[in-house]
Amino acid sequence: MNKAGKAGAPLRALGAMSGTSLDGVDAAVVETDGRRILGFGETGYRTYSDEERAVLRAGLGHWAGPEAEAAGHVVDAAHAELLAGFDGVDLVGFHGQTLAHEPRGRGTFQVGDGAALAQALGLPVVWDFRSDDVAMGGEGAPLAPFFHFACAKWIGAVEPVCFLNLGGVGNLTYVDPTFETPEAEGALLAFDTGPANAPVNDLMLARRGLEMDEGGALAARGIVEEGALELFLAEPYFTRMPPKSLDRNDFAEMIGLVGELGDADAAATLTAMCAAGVAQGMEHCPRPPARLLVTGGGRLNPVLMEMLRVSLDCPVEPVEAVGLDGDMLEAQAFAYLAVRVAYGMATSCPGTTGVRALVGGGIVSRPGD
């Protein structure tokens, strides 16, 4: 299906994202015509309780069944609660929660009922963004690159720039802003770099009952185990050409690689693995970028950011350096993509997900349907 489409009238879209870090729901308003970012609006956040997070963790890796159903109930309730607090919105972009992602196998699976959310909010809801891409031979991820292209235009970039999202999984978008549209061949290259925060979070939960290594404090006290790092980088994933994507648990064995290490050394080694995956990924960029802009929770970890700066040849900065919000960029992305879906525009292309042709994913559910 050709989804080139045309930009339409500006809309105020509300995007929501529940990521693989399982911390909570981000929500953000973007005003856009489907091509340009015309303005950023209000934002909100709703954390998951310990009980809710446990239900979501139990659902990871499930494609159906009671665990997935229970996770879906948590996702639906949390989103309805948070999104009901926004006014003056034209439509909603609802990503849901990814429980399983196997693009070369069973596909991709997000829980979250967009039709029920449309009824609850009284607004059109765009959801199920990834299935069409997978059906057309794509990886179904990452989906933020078209928004990253718009962000590069918004900040006035004139040279190639990379956006690195460090959530549970790391993903990189190379943007060449000299092109007019994201669909143009060469404008975008995107792929998952490897695990990011998920292994460290899992380690902290298993060993210390904590959700994360706050500020990289534990990793800062540790020493990287070079042997474990070399085994990690020997994984075939890193030699695969992009586009390529990962499930949150694809590198679960990383915990085993640091199993004999003390807590601090294990945290330092897992953090170094994240940085090393990014460094490997940067070698795929068509040209060296002028800068690497980091979004997601990983940008708040000074140990990880310093590892990136040491291993890369370009400036590494949080996206706040260019006036963007690193806590909300993914939620904003799904607001932007929702408008593109509403206007019949592409949301992914061969350079971002490996899909065979331009494709616009997403179901639009309206109140009363």
Q: Which residues are annotated binding-site positions for ATP?
A: 19-26
Name the binding residues.
Answer: 19-26
Helix (H, G, I), strand (E, B) or coil at 42: strand
Q: What are phi and psi of 68, to 5 degrees?
A: -65, -40
Report angle CA 120, 122, 126 to the nearest 5 degrees.
90
Residue with tokens 């945290």: 267
Helix (H, G, I), strand (E, B) or coil at 114: helix
Burial 111-147 (b: 16+ CB within 10 A, else e): bbbbeebbbbbebbbbbbbbbbbbebebbbbbbbbbb
**Cβ atoms of 280 and 193 closer than 8 Å:** yes
Q: Please give the Cα distance from 285 to 270 (Å, whole number).
A: 24
Altogether, the residues listed in the chain come to a count of: 369
**Cβ atoms of 41 and 89 closer than 8 Å:** no
DSSP lists the bridge partners of residue 169 as 195
Q: Please give the Cα distance from 271 to 288 (Å, whole number).
A: 24
Among residues 369, 356, 317, the alpha carbon closest in space to that of 163 is found at 317
How is residue 132 written in tokens?
């069409």
**CB neighbours of 330 closer than 8 A, spacing ≥ 6?**
17, 19, 26, 95, 144, 165, 167, 295, 296
Q: Please give the Cα distance from 283 to 184 (Å, whole number).
A: 22
Residue 172: its H or E element: strand 169-175
Burial 21-56 (b: 16+ CB within 10 A, else e): bbbbbbbbbbbbbbbebeebbebbebebeeebbebb
